[in-house]
Structure 1
Amino acid sequence: MIKSILYILMLFCILSCKDEKEAAETIENTAKTESDIASEKISEIKDGHTSENSLDWEGSYSGVLPCADCEGIDTRLILRKDQTYQLKLRYLGIPEKESQDFISEGKFSWEVDGNNILLEGEKVDFQNFKVGELFLMPLDKDGNELKRMPGNNFKLLKS
């Protein structure tokens, strides 16, 4: 009788260990599956999703950009689907009679990564922009974002 009880206990222990092992393997496989899915999503983003082909970038953007010798540059930039633009600038903080709108038009091109644009032919301080969801971020000549100041992050917001 004691031998029978011992055999039953041993069998029970073996079966319960097997279930824990299977459960651990199942959890491990699930974790790998979730990890694989996350990796696939990241590679999809790297493989083809850019501002150019994923965002609704066409439209009008406006905001105030920094100025070396005035209070700021009231800026309005219109991007069209045919990769042309219109840029309107007004320098703030100068006498009204000296203030005028500067308007230029031309073509823009996308950089290789598909996330930044370059206004071709412009001689202004800001001709490179990072294209984001509902905004344009001006970039300096080296392609870096401008240093933000309290009260202004220098983004041109889509209207």
Structure 2
Amino acid sequence: MIKSTLYLMILLSILSCKEETEASETIENTTKSQSEIPSEEIHSIPDAHTSKNSLDWEGAYSGVLPCKNCDGIDTRLILNKDQTYQLVLRYLGIPEKESRDFISEGEFTWEANGNTILLEGEKADFQKFKVGELFLMPLDKNGNEIKRVPGNNFKLLKG
């Protein structure tokens, strides 16, 4: 009886070692197969989530943008589902008799990344905007965010 119990314990020990070896070999093989994928392939897989297809970007945005010759530009930008826009600008800190709304309309296009729009035909300083959750961030002509100042991050907020 003792011999039978001893044989059974040895047999169970051998089987359990074999299962651990098989499991570790499977993990090693998976790690090897993943590391064999070139890093450029991993980084070239496009992210399916963009501002264009993931956010509710249609609507009116407003805020004050920087101005070289005035106190700021009160800005209202309306984006329509058909990719048209209306832009209303009012320059702040200028004599009241010169103050008026400048209104322009046109179409906008999405850049290839799906996160930035370009107001077609717009002559204003800001014609590119990064589209975020409930905001538009104006970009300079090189596509960089504009420098923020204390008290204003220059975002146009939705609503």
Fold similarity call, TM over 0.5: yes
With the shorter chain as reference, the TM-score category is 0.7 to 0.9
Amino acid in the other structure paired with 2:72: G
Amino acid in the other structure paired with 1:51: S
Q: Could you list the runs of 5+ residues in structure 2 that have no partner in the other structure?
A: 35-41
The count of aligned residue pairs is 148
Q: 1:127 maps to what in 2? A: 127
Q: Could you list the runs of 5+ residues in structure 1 that have no partner in the other structure?
A: none
Asked if 1:103 is matched to 2:70, the reply is no
Superposition deviation, residue 81 in structure 1: 1.6
SS of the residue 2:62 aligns to: strand
Separation in 1, partners of 2:6, 2:52: 71
Amino acid in the other structure paired with 2:74: D
C-alpha offsets along residues 8-30 of structure 1, whole Å, 9 cap, x if unaligned? 4432321332343455568x49x
C-alpha offsets along residues 101-131 of structure 1, whole Å, 9 cap, x if unaligned? 1111122222233222111221110011112
Separation in 2, partners of 1:47, 1:150: 34
Amino acid in the other structure paired with 1:56: D
Q: 1:156 maps to what in 2? A: 156
Superposition deviation, residue 60 in structure 1: 0.4
Q: Give RMSD over aligned pairs.
A: 3.1
Amino acid in the other structure paired with 1:110: W
In the superposition, the TM-score normalised over structure 2's length comes to 0.75
Separation in 1, partners of 2:144, 2:81: 25
Percent sequence identity over aligned pairs = 74
Separation in 1, partners of 2:108, 2:95: 32
Separation in 2, partners of 1:9, 1:50: 59
Q: 2:39 maps to what in 1? A: none
Amino acid in the other structure paired with 1:156: L
